[in-house]
Amino acid sequence: MAQNGISDEDKTKTNGKPPEKEEKKEEKKEAVSEKPTPQKIELASDRDSLKRLKLVVVAFSHVEREWFATKEAYEAEVEVEVRAGEVVEAIKKLGIECKSQPGNQYFLTNLLVDQPSLVVNLVDTLKGKDRLQTSVPAALELSNFMYTGAGMEGMVIGNDRNLTKRLLVAYDIPTPTFQYIRRSGTAILEELGLPLIVKLNESGGSVGIDDKAVKETVKDAQKQVDELIAIYKMPVIVERFIDGTEVTVVVFDDGQKCHVLMGEKIFRIKPDGKHFFTSIQSYADAKSYKYKKLEDDTLRNKIEKLAVRAFNGLEHVDYAKFDVRVDDSTNTPYFTDSNPNTAFGPDPGLPFTEVCKLHEISFEDILISLLSKYAKGMK
């Protein structure tokens, strides 16, 4: 067994010098002190090719309250229709006809009638189940529709934390020690270390992670495991919690290069008074954290290489977001979560959009690059 994965089934001017030498030394000091101005990131794009797109459909998740185990899980998804509408308006501003379409039982029928040039796939749950979202790329491929984002393989991997972590280990990408648990009552292995955090094997949006999610004892983590399995009826991941800097890593593939953009999260408070992390309750606080650029060049270069490897190894396509925690004691960047087809739109509250803006890349820049990447291949 790889070391990071444990299954429950198995970093002055010197006086007295000649005047000319003094001047040369001063000039040298000035040259060294000057820092190169960072170049603005330019995404590959072709505005002219956008004319080839006759109709773009933005697909989004159709959600109903009874499909979700808790109110929190429902509320984490319910805003998707509004977000899809914002993407539709942004595409229309580029002079492209666009409409939205819910991912429901009529989805494929409506597409066959509309015959869009491209589908922007924002569907991340079907009937309240994340794992069913693979049905969307499957249907689109079966019907020969071009679509953005990860395909079936990437969505299968992205919706299974256990599988994601095992692949990260296989690709030699640091991830915290973890244990996959299917059934309540399964004992947590003490060699995981402390503290611990328990996560649902599926779902995003910090569902199941409250202000007291980080557990200081195995006993408390065990109780959380049993409660989450009972409530959500799905397996969980028990993971060693990494104390240290949290970095949101965005990867965007413009067809020529995978651009890696990072934002260091600066938290306003510690939800439990001990640790910095994002809980489901913090979503209601617009000031729970803010981003700044990661200043450690060595760490940034290390994360960039790992992020590109993870993006390709996990079969992500076009864009994705990774959550990285940097261990305070070793400066090791641990990849804790992967989000293919991460929340996408112009809303400044979305991590993807915020990190891009931090690097002076607007949502319009992203959209033009993404759409033209597909339009260029059309006749």
Domain assignments of the chain as residue spans, ordered by start: 47-149, 158-340
For 129, which DSSP code?
A: B
312, 316, 319, 325 alpha-carbon torsion, rounded to 10°: -70
Residue 298: the pLDDT is: 96
pLDDT in tens, 22-32: 444 444 333 44
Buried b (16+ CB within 10 A) or exposed e, 319-336: bbbbbbbbbeeeebbbbb
Q: What is the mean pLDDT of residues 152-159?
A: 94
Residue 326: the pLDDT is: 98
Distance CA 186, CA 10 (A): 12
Residue 19: the pLDDT is: 39
For 49, which DSSP code?
A: G
CA-based nearest residue to 113, from 138, 87, 145:
145
In which band, very low, low, confident or very high, does the pLDDT at 17 lie, cut at 50, 70 and 90? Answer: very low
Q: For the chain, first and last CA: distance in Å?
A: 49
In which band, very low, low, confident or very high, does the pLDDT at 77 lie, cut at 50, 70 and 90? Answer: confident
CB 278 within 8 A of CB 288: yes
CATH 3.40.50.20 corresponds to the domain 47-149: yes
CA-based nearest residue to 365, from 82, 46, 57:
46
pLDDT in tens, 270-299: 989 899 888 877 766 778 889 999 999 999
In which band, very low, low, confident or very high, does the pLDDT at 210 lie, cut at 50, 70 and 90? Answer: confident
Residue 287: the pLDDT is: 80
CATH 3.40.50.300 corresponds to the domain 158-340: no
CB 285 within 8 A of CB 206: no
Higher pLDDT, 36 or 295: 295
pTM equals 0.86
What's the whole-number average pLDDT of the chain?
A: 87
Distance CA 200, CA 192 (A): 17
Percent of the chain predicted with pLDDT > 70: 88
Residue 72: the pLDDT is: 73
Residue 171: the pLDDT is: 98
